[in-house]
């Protein structure tokens, strides 16, 4: 049974359809990357999965259980098992790094503060930010803030981590430190669904790559196949243009 299964998912912004029947199954511990041109629906898919843009039709199943996006209890249960990191860090500017990582587990999950602090420090160590525990976000670089945002998402102990273009707002010299953090997470075996324009990274870290265009899945395959021998003409066109730059 797939850990996460998406069946014929549709989603719209107002009257404008954005996802047009997306189906995808992700196994436990798998790293799946979404690629495709801007406006193809990649980020919308992540937002739909976490319930920020409710699907208009279709099904999402987590460990075989259907998610009811209209039901608060179902949505709350979903968000205890999925966490998302956006391209903007969205850290609380009036809180230290440690407090940013601790706030959700303490306030939302009602976990004991001492336990959460121990876990938060371990996560900050994992992402290379333990020395900055008492710093405030405006004292950090963009790459450092993004690593804190990843630690904050992991503090909720999710089963699946969604990463939405987490390097796109960074200066080029800061991209590597964030990608190195994600590589370390990949070695830990957490399931990840990644939207990224860093094609070399996608090719290296992914178990499978999903090509999207115009709100649809065009092709799914292993990185080697997608980047060297894509079956679909639209994939060949996109990959060919990307790899030239």
d(CA 182, CA 167): 11
Would the CA dihedral through 34, 120, 103, 88 be positive or negative?
negative
Kindly report the CA angle at 98 between 95 and 104, in degrees rounded to 5? Answer: 80
Counting other chains too, the contacts that 70-74 makes at CB distance below 8 Å and 24 or more residues apart are: none
Instruction: At 146, list the tokens.
Output: 């993004």
Question: pTM here?
Answer: 0.93
Instruction: Please check whether residue 212 is in contact with residue 36, taking contact to mean a CB–CB distance below 8 angstroms.
Output: yes
**Please, which pLDDT band fits residue 188 given cuts at 50, 70 and 90?**
confident
d(CA 64, CA 187): 25
**Please, which pLDDT band fits residue 244 given cuts at 50, 70 and 90?**
low
**Exposed/middle/buried for residue 151 (C-beta within 10 Å: 0-12, 13-18, 19+):** buried
User: What's the pLDDT at 189?
Assistant: 87
Find the mean pLDDT for residues 82-93. Answer: 93
Q: What is the pLDDT of residues 202-236, one digit of tens each?
A: 999 999 999 999 999 999 999 999 999 999 999 99
Average predicted confidence (pLDDT) for the chain: 94
User: What's the pLDDT at 100?
Assistant: 98
CA 94 to chain centre: 25
**Please, which pLDDT band fits residue 174 given cuts at 50, 70 and 90?**
confident
pLDDT-wise least confident of 59-63, 147-151, 171-175: 171-175
d(CA 102, CA 150): 13
Q: What is the pLDDT of residues 11-38, one digit of tens each?
A: 998 888 999 999 999 999 999 999 999 9
Look-up: residue for tokens 């679909």? 232
User: What's the pLDDT at 158?
Assistant: 94
d(CA 94, CA 137): 8
- Structural domains of the chain sorted by starting position, each given as residue range(s) with its CATH number in brackets: 4-89+160-243 (3.40.50.300)
Look-up: residue for tokens 């450092």? 144
d(CA 57, CA 60): 10
């Amino acid at each position: 049974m797939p850990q996460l299964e998406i069946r014929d998912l549709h989603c719209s912004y107002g009257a404008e359809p954005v996802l047009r029947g997306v189906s995808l199954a992700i196994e436990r511990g798998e790293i799946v990357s979404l690629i495709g041109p801007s406006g193809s629906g990649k980020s919308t898919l992540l937002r739909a999965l976490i319930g920020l843009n409710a699907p208009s039709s279709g099904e999402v199943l987590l460990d075989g259980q259907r998610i009811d996006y209209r039901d608060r209890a179902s949505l709350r249960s979903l968000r205890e098992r999925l966490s998302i990191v956006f391209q903007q860090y969205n850290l609380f500017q009036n809180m230290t790094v440690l407090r940013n990582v601790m706030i959700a587990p303490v306030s939302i999950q009602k976990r004991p503060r001492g336990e959460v602090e121990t876990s938060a420090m371990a996560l900050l160590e994992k992402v290379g930010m333990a020395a900055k525990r008492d710093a405030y976000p405006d004292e950090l670089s963009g790459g450092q803030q993004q690593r804190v945002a990843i630690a904050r998402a992991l503090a909720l102990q999710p089963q699946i981590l969604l990463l939405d273009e987490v390097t796109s707002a960074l200066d080029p010299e800061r991209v590597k430190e964030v990608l190195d953090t994600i590589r370390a997470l990949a070695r830990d075996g957490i399931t990840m669904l990644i939207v990224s324009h860093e094609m070399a990274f996608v090719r290296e870290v992914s178990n499978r790559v999903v090509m999207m265009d115009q709100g649809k899945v065009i092709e799914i395959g292993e990185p080697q196949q997608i980047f060297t021998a894509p079956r679909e003409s639209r994939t060949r066109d996109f990959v060919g243009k990307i790899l030239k730059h």
